[in-house]
Chains A and B, each alone.
Chain A
Amino acid sequence: DAGVIQSPRHEVTEMGQEVTLRCKPISGHDYLFWYRQTMMRGLELLIYFNNNVPIDDSGMPEDRFSAKMPNASFSTLKIQPSEPRDSAVYFCASSLFGLVDTQYFGPGTRLTVL
C-alpha cells in the first residue's frame, strides 16, 4: 500500500484565495482525520470522518474551513477565503479501527498564505 497520499505537498497562495487540500486514505481504513500543525499550537485535530460521514468537526477553527469525503478513497479540506494565520502544515491521517487506534499520517501539505 502506498500509505496516505496528500496533495499538493506545498501550496503558496495570497490572502483571500480559496485553497483545497486533498487526501487519499489507506484502502480499507474507515476513519479519516484532518490535523493542523503549527509551532504555536502543535498538532490539532480539525475534523474526522467515519465511513465517509463527518463525526466531529469541533476542531474546525471557523466557517471558512470545510471538509468533505465524497467516497471512501478521497477527502478534501477547503479554506475559503484563506488568511495568513491559516499558514501551517495540514496532515491527513487514517486508521482502521477507530478514533484512538493507531493512525497513519500522510506527508502533509505545507500551506503558506501571503
Chain B
Amino acid sequence: SQQGEEDPQALSIQEGENATMNCSYKTSINNLQWYRQNSGRGLVHLILIRSNEREKHSGRLRVTLDTSKKSSSLLITASRAADTASYFCATDEIQGAQKLVFGQGTRLTINP
C-alpha cells in the first residue's frame, strides 16, 4: 500500500515564484525524507526531518512535518528553471517491515 502520497501530482509555476508540495502518509514514522529526481537521472536526497522536528531549512528549501495530521510539505522559495524535476517524499514505518517507502512524486515545472 502507498505510504507517502504527494499532492499535487503536477505543478507548473513561473520562475521566481514559490513552489509548495505536500505529502501525506498513513502510519507512524521515525523520519521523513524528500528526494529530487531530474529527468533520466537517479534520486537525490534533499532533506530529512525526524518525527520530533516540526520544521527544517536547507538553503531555499523549507520542510514542515505535522505528525498529528500525518503530513509534510516541501517549500522551494524563489524557484529557478533548474528546480524543474520530480519530488518524492519517503517515509519509514515504526511498525511492520522496516523500509523506506517512496510516494508517486510531484512533477514540478518552472517556466522561465
Contacts and interface: CB of A to CB of B under 8 A. Distances in A.
Contact of B30 (A43, A100, A106): A100
Interface residues of A, number: 18
A93 B99 CA distance: 13
A72 interface: no
Interface range on chain B (Cβ under 8 Å from partner): 20 to 34
Contacts of A108: 40-42
Contact of B42 (A42, A91, A99): A91
A45 interface: yes
A107 B41 contact: yes
A105 B102 contact: no
B98 interface: yes
Interface residues of chain B: helix, strand, loop or mixed (majority)? loop
A18 interface: no
A4 interface: yes
Contact of A100 (B44, B45, B100, B104): B100
A42 B104 CA distance: 6
Given A99-B92, A108-B42, 13 more contacts: A42-B104, A42-B105, A48-B99, A56-B99, A58-B97, A91-B43, A100-B30, A100-B99, A102-B33, A102-B45, A102-B48, A106-B42, A107-B42
